[in-house]
Chains A and B, each alone.
Chain A
Amino acid sequence: MRKALNKVLISFVFVGICGGTFWKHDEVLAQSSNLFRTYKRDVPQKLAKTPESVSEGKKVYEKRCWYCHGIEGKGDGPASVTMFPKPRNFTRNEYKVRSTAFGSLPTDEDLFRIITSGIEGTAMPFWNTISETERWQVLYYVSTFNDQFKYDQPAKVVAVGSVPSTPESIKRGQELFREMKCFECHGEDARGNGPLTVALQTEWDMPYRARDLTKGWSFKGGNTIEDIYRTVSTGFNETPMGSYLEKLSDEDRWHVAHYVKSLAKDMASDVVVKVKLFEGEQLPMEPLDEHWSMATAIEIPLAGQILVSPRLWTPYIDAIMVRALYNNDEIAFLLEWDDSTNRQEEIFRDAVSLQFPNKIPESLKKPYFAMGDSSSSVNLWSWKAHWREGFGAVMEASETDPGVVSELNAKGFKNITVQPPESQNVTGKGIYQNGRWKIVLKRALNTEDVKGDIQFEVGKLIPVAFAIWDGSNNDVGGQKSVSSWYYVSLEKPVPKTVYAYVLVAIIMGASVEMWFIARLRRFPPELEEK
């Protein structure tokens, strides 16, 4: 009995220690999880709709809203030129986030919610910074742009209950996703890469882009299960996203919602790409190599290049996932991003580039994050999808695309040089599958071109920046998605001596404890009175 108790005790403490250590690591990795807004659902007491409130709303509108939505509410304000998605046209019933049936007008509460929270991934900010009264007033004014608000009967609200998720429900949802042909727009892997979306985007040049359902942060109107259920039920007016209110039973819509929710991921953003020492013979060179799962992946949000002309105001690629592994000789990066199509033209090609300073900075000073500057140069590793001569203007890159890899140096946008053939040390390989590019870039840790190439050192923080071009978005040259400086760090393996230290510490701790208790037993504490 006693021995058993002892064993239980010891294992309990051991588990505690291990748990503690892992939990500490988690804490280091999790950073900046609050990049994106949370949609607020509460709506306060409605303000009475009077001619005065409408005219007050006009003032608010003409102070804050018309720059994008236009003075007549047609969604053609002067600032809309630098926007995609375009601002809502209030003269049409193209409201997306509604609690009412497809084709109906939204309720005042729906409009209030959107004004309060805005829409992620668009220019629409959250206006919870203006008073509730002003929000009601401005939405009353906005509804005067469309006469339907005057004549239509108030639409019935689709009730949203709450049904908990189960594995069976998710599985049924997945089947329905196929049966209802959701994949035709959203794609097999739900990356917004279905054939219809691609056709609309490339051949028809229409502004409809099916949502990439793996990017949970980008769901319009929110990514809670209730939000997804509402979107599946009511659809988005004037888009290919229809309503499934009639086509699916209430239960089935919950199944679909649960499935979609299970696909939606948060952005795993971090500042440092932590590179683990790879124990095997050769670093993985194939993008689909299973060893990549050993490496910690981080995701980095990208913006359009807006620093110098020509700028890219409407980037399509908004995030890149990065991971890397190293061994004693080499380092390999796996770069992944979602792209609905690998179609491109001769000059507009899908491409990615890694940027390092020419050498690891010794002080805080780094080269300018956008292609370096005249005083400090950057080293670029570029991968570009292969281009074959053809009759058509638009080509599809092959699924397993070796791509064109090149190493460059830059001292600013206007001063870019390709390294001579003898100093081209980077090798690469790419693959495009189900709406996602996966590119491997590999190079020796150290090269002979000490001046032009970054030399990797274990344990140092090495600045790195990223750029992606989307051929189907007509990205070329300076028109690309970019990031600012992040870091790469080649992790030192945990030396074996650490465990010796720990053992010594435990023995010393135990000895001190035993001495203390022995002393206590010999001279038991007693009250002085005794």
Chain B
Amino acid sequence: MANRRSTFLLIWVITAVGCLYVFLKYASPKIFQMLMAKDHPMPTPSTLMMWYMIMGVLAGLVYATTSNQKFVDFLSFLLPDRGPVIKSFLRKIIFVGFPALVGWFVYTWAIPGAASPVELRIQHPTLPQDFEKLENPFRQADADVQRRCIEEGKVLFQTYCRPCHGSKADGNGPFANSFRLRPINFQDPGTIATVVDNYLFWRIKDGGPGLPAESTPWDSAMPSWKDDLKDDEIWKIIMGEYDTAGVMPRQREKLE
């Protein structure tokens, strides 16, 4: 048994590399989808895939050379013998398959590929100076007034922000699909929870057109609300927005 198996060593190595490819290509996206609880598969990045495949081939070769016996078996497979028909069949597949594989690599490399768009942007550009010193006028108000402001802000949020940012402030409003730069998910701890509330005031007041060039203002569907909403209303929206998303604004550091 051991003897018979080792004479097919080359085939086992090729099969193992093939399995690795199938695993990376088809199984791993599904597994990561399950592990990370995403609703879409997570395809393996192509460079990572290339490196895994190179490692896989090397590992196969290392295994084949662990002993002289193995190495001899590994190479002898390519020599004609009086072995079973299946052996000469597999040998033929290898003989035809190798040049075909080389041809396929060259083909995929040589056909003109469609350029894929590069859209790099900085999500949180620096807050402009004019907005740094602003204070939420309702911050010092008593609890009752604050509660009322939050409630009024939530109504405004649900009216004007909801179509894109969603009723839950999770960036899943009915219009969200239409904007390739998706509306921000405010529940994500990496968004409004990491900035002070003046930052939101700036973003709501000036919107996409107010962004610096490194944040691709031309792609942002955030309206500039300065002509339509009063400053007080914007502050209320901010309070309502944090409440809806269930996060707190970042507190300003006190300078000694």
| A residues apposed to B, CB below 8 Å | 5-6, 9-10, 12-14, 16-17, 20-21, 24, 28, 33-36, 38, 64, 67-68, 77-79, 81-82, 121-127, 129, 271-272, 274, 300-304, 306-309, 313, 364-370, 373, 459-461, 482-487, 489, 491-492, 494-495, 497-498, 501-510, 513, 517, 520-521, 524-528
Task: List 17 A-B pairs, Cβ < 8 Å.
Answer: A13-B93, A64-B167, A123-B163, A123-B173, A365-B218, A369-B218, A369-B221, A373-B209, A484-B178, A484-B221, A485-B180, A502-B106, A503-B103, A505-B103, A510-B99, A524-B76, A525-B75
Q: Does B123 contact A (CB under 8 A)?
A: no
Q: Give the nearest-CB partner of A490 in chain B.
A: B114
Evaluate contact between B40 and A67: CB separation under 8 angstroms.
no
Docked Cα-Cα span, A271 to B219, in Å, equals 14
Establish whether residues B92 and A9, one from each chain, have CB atoms under 8 Å apart when the complex forms. yes
Q: How far is the CA of A307 from the CA of B105 in the complex (A)?
A: 47
Contact assessment for A521 and B106 in the assembled complex, using a CB-CB cutoff below 8 Å? no
Query: CB of B117 within 8 A of chain A?
Result: yes
Are B79 and A484 in touch, CB under 8 angstroms? no
Given contacts A308-B223, A484-B219, contact A79 B115 (CB under 8 A): no
Interface size class of B (residues with CB under 8 A): 35 or more
A436 to chain B minimum Cβ distance, whole angstroms, is: 20
Nearest CB of chain B from residue A73's CB, rounded to whole Å: 16
Across the interface, which residues of A come within 8 angstroms of B112, CB to CB? 459, 491-492, 494-495
A498 touching B155 by the CB < 8 A rule?
A: no
Asked if B227 and A13 make an inter-chain contact with CB atoms under 8 angstroms apart, the answer reads no
B159: A residues at CB distance < 8 A: 78-79, 81-82
Q: Which of A82, A129, A365 contacts B213 (CB 8 A)?
A: A365
Cβ A306 vs Cβ B163 within 8 A:
yes
Bitwise, B72-87 to A at CB < 8 A (1) or not (0) is 1001101100000000
- Can you name the residue of chain B whose Cβ is closest to the Cβ of A517? B78
Given A369-B218, A513-B98, A525-B76; A34-B89 close (CB under 8 Å) = no
Residues of A within 8 A of B253 (CB): none
| Contact of B35 with A by CB under 8 A | no
- C-alpha spacing A501/B103, complex, angstroms: 8
Assess A487 versus B154: contact at CB under 8 Å? Given A313-B163, A508-B102, A524-B79.
Answer: no
Q: What is the 8 Å Cβ interface bit string for chain B, positions 138-179, against chain A (1 contact, 0 not)?
A: 000000000000000011001110111011101011110111
* Residues in A neighbouring B173, C-beta threshold 8 A: 123
- Asked whether A505 and B78 contact (CB < 8 A) given A306-B175, A484-B179, A485-B218, the answer is no
On whether the beta carbons of B114 and A304 are closer than 8 Å, the reply is: no
- Which A-B residue pairs are the 6 nearest by beta carbons? A509-B102, A79-B158, A303-B178, A303-B175, A509-B99, A505-B106
B128 to chain A, nearest CB (A): 18
* A14 and B97 alpha carbons, distance in the complex (Å): 9
Number of cross-chain contacts by CB at 8 Å: 203
The reply to whether A9 and B93 form a contact with Cβ atoms under 8 Å apart is yes
Interface presence of B71 (CB below 8 A): yes
Residue pair A307, B168 in contact (C-beta under 8 Å): no
**B71 and A17: CB pair below 8 A?**
no
Question: Which residues in A have their C-beta under 8 angstroms from that of B98?
Answer: 509-510, 513
Chain A residue at minimal CB-CB distance from B80: A521
Report Cα–Cα, A125/B227, bound state, in Å. Answer: 29
Nearest residue (CB) in B for A35 is B177
Determine whether the beta carbon of B115 is less than 8 Å from that of A123: no
Nearest CB on A from B153, distance (A): 11
Min distance, Cβ B36 to any Cβ of chain A, angstroms: 14
Complex: A16 Cα to B97 Cα, angstroms? 10
Query: Across the interface, do A17 and B218 meet the contact criterion of CB distance under 8 Å?
Result: no
On whether the beta carbons of B218 and A527 are closer than 8 Å, the reply is no
Inter-chain contact B174/A122, CB cutoff 8 Å: yes
A36 to B177, CA, bound (A): 8
B68 touches A528 (CB 8 A): yes
Q: Are B39 and A271 in touch, CB under 8 angstroms? A: no
The distance in angstroms between the C-alpha atoms of A34 and B209, with both chains bound, is 29
Q: How far is the CA of A303 from the CA of B222 in the complex (A)?
A: 13
Q: Is B111 an interface residue (CB 8 A)?
A: yes
Q: How far is the CA of A12 from the CA of B117 in the complex (A)?
A: 37
A309 vs B207: C-alpha distance in the bound complex, in angstroms?
Answer: 14
List the B side residues contacting A367 at CB < 8 Å.
218
Known contacts A9-B96, A67-B154, A526-B72: A369-B162 contact under CB 8 Å: no
Assess whether B167 is in contact with A123, with CB atoms less than 8 Å apart.
yes
Max chain B CB contacts within 10 Å: which of A28, A82, A484? Answer: A484
A16, B96: Cα distance in complex, Å: 12
Binary A-proximity of B27-71 (CB < 8 A = 1, otherwise 0): 000000000000110000000000000000000000000001101
Report yes or no: B103 in contact with A307, Cβ–Cβ below 8 A.
no
Which of chain A's residues have a CB closer than 8 A to the CB of B79? 520-521, 524
Instruction: Report Cα–Cα, A347/B69, bound state, in Å.
Output: 87
Q: What is the CA–CA distance of A365 and B215 in the complex, to the nearest angstrom? A: 10
Indicate if the CB atoms of A21 and B178 lie closer than 8 Å: no
* Beta-carbon nearest neighbor of B74 in chain A: A525
Closest chain-A Cβ to B64's Cβ sits at a distance in Å of 11
Q: A82-B163, A309-B228 are in contact. Are A125 and B103 (CB under 8 A)?
A: no
- Tell me, in angstroms, the Cα distance from A487 to B114 when the chains sit together: 11
Name B180's contact: one of A77, A459, A484 (CB within 8 Å). A484
The residue in chain B whose Cβ has the minimal distance to the Cβ of A16 is B100
Contact partners of B224 in chain A: CB under 8 A: 307-308
Query: Chain B residues with Cβ under 8 A from A6's Cβ?
Result: 92
Known contacts being A6-B92, A21-B108, is A125 close to B167, with CB within 8 Å? yes
Bound Cα distance from A5 to B119, whole angstroms: 52
- How far apart are the CA atoms of A34 and B179 in the complex, in Å? 14
Q: Report B32 CB to chain A, min CB distance, Å.
A: 15
